[in-house]
Every structure is written in C-alpha cells, then in structure tokens.
C-alpha cells in the first residue's frame, strides 16, 4: 500500500520502509510520529482512493531518524557598474523519517508501540553520562579564572604616559 502525504508544503509518495527527508518536524530521534495529511491511498491492482482534500481516517506513521541541516544555498545579488555585491548563505532544517506504516483506518502499527519502551531505556543511560560531564566542566572554568586574573594586571602596568596637547596660537 502506498500513500501521497503533504507536509511542509510539499507532497511525497511513500510506502512502508521508505526513508524520506522533509521540512523540520517536531520530534526527537527514535520517536514515532503521525506524518502530514494523506491526500491519496493506493494499492497495486486496485483503483486509488483520492481525498477531498484529504482521505478521512487515513494515517501514515513514521520514525524520526535524525534532525539535520540541509545543503547550503548561496544567495548572491549584484548590480553591475554600481559596486554592489551581497552574498548570503542559508541552511534549511530537515527531518529524516523512516515510514513505518500506511494505514487506511488510522490505527498505529505494532512496531510503533514497541519503539516507545526503547526510548525509556535509553534515558537513564544519558542521565548517567550527564551527571559525569558537569563535574569535569566545573573544575576547568575555575582554573581558567585563576589564570585570567594575573594576566589582567600586566597590561595595566605597561600604559604609556599621556602626551600634552600643543598650545594654540592665540594662547601663547
């Protein structure tokens, strides 16, 4: 079964197992989300079902694989003979999705329910790492502050004496 979904102002033809890159969607890697609006459903050998504008009760479920930035797009403006040149760059935020299931009835797939406990198991591991890292970070800034204080005193001692202003012609 395949579907045509709309998300981020664009339409995508997806089937179960596809990996697609779409405009940024909210969700952490590993989460299961319901994607966009289903515009059309179809199966091989059968007539497709079109929505007006969307198919009722149909849903597409996907797993967030990654949040990333796209390729850089350069914007260059120039007006000849006016010495006017402007160069700007832009990188769009994107979400990489793996399509888990295309459902005509809107029911969640069984694999989506199993994915949620994996995320809960992963959280305590990240907490243990997070506790260890701040202890290291706290000791480093203290050493940097101690080094910064003596360095600040040295430039003050090297100031050159101020020069006297030359007298004006009428005041001599």
Per-residue pLDDT, 168: 75
* Token digits of residue 150: 């003596």
Say how far apart CA 141 and CA 147 lie, in whole Å: 10
Per-residue pLDDT, 21: 96
Residue in the structure block whose two tokens are 């007539």: 47
pLDDT tens digits, residue range 38-82? 999 998 889 999 998 999 999 999 999 999 999 999 999 999 999
Mean pLDDT of the chain: 80
- The number of angstroms, rounded, from the C-alpha of 23 to the middle of its chain's C-alpha atoms is 10
Residue in the structure block whose two tokens are 């591991």: 125
Say how far apart CA 111 and CA 2 lie, in whole Å: 18
Between 51 and 143, whose confidence is greater? Answer: 51
Say how far apart CA 117 and CA 101 lie, in whole Å: 19
pLDDT tens digits, residue range 104-137? 888 887 765 554 444 444 445 545 445 555 554 4
Tell me what percent of the residues of the chain surpass a pLDDT of 90. Answer: 52
């Amino acid at each position: 079964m395949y579907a045509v979904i709309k998300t981020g102002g664009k339409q995508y033809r997806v089937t179960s197992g596809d990996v697609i890159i779409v405009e940024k969607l909210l969700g952490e890697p590993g989460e299961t989300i319901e994607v966009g609006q289903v515009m059309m459903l179809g199966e091989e050998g059968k007539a497709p079902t079109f929505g007006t504008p969307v198919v009722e009760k149909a849903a597409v479920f996907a797993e967030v694989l990654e949040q990333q930035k796209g390729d850089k797009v350069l914007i260059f403006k120039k007006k000849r003979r006016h010495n006017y040149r402007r160069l700007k760059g832009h990188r769009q935020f994107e979400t990489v999705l793996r399509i888990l299931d295309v459902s005509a009835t809107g029911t969640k797939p069984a694999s989506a329910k199993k994915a949620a406990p994996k995320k809960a198991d992963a959280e305590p591991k990240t907490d243990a790492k997070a506790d260890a890292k701040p202890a290291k970070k706290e000791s480093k800034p203290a050493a940097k502050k101690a080094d910064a204080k003596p360095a600040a005193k040295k430039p003050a001692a090297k100031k050159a004496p101020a020069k006297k202003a030359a007298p004006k012609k009428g005041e001599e």
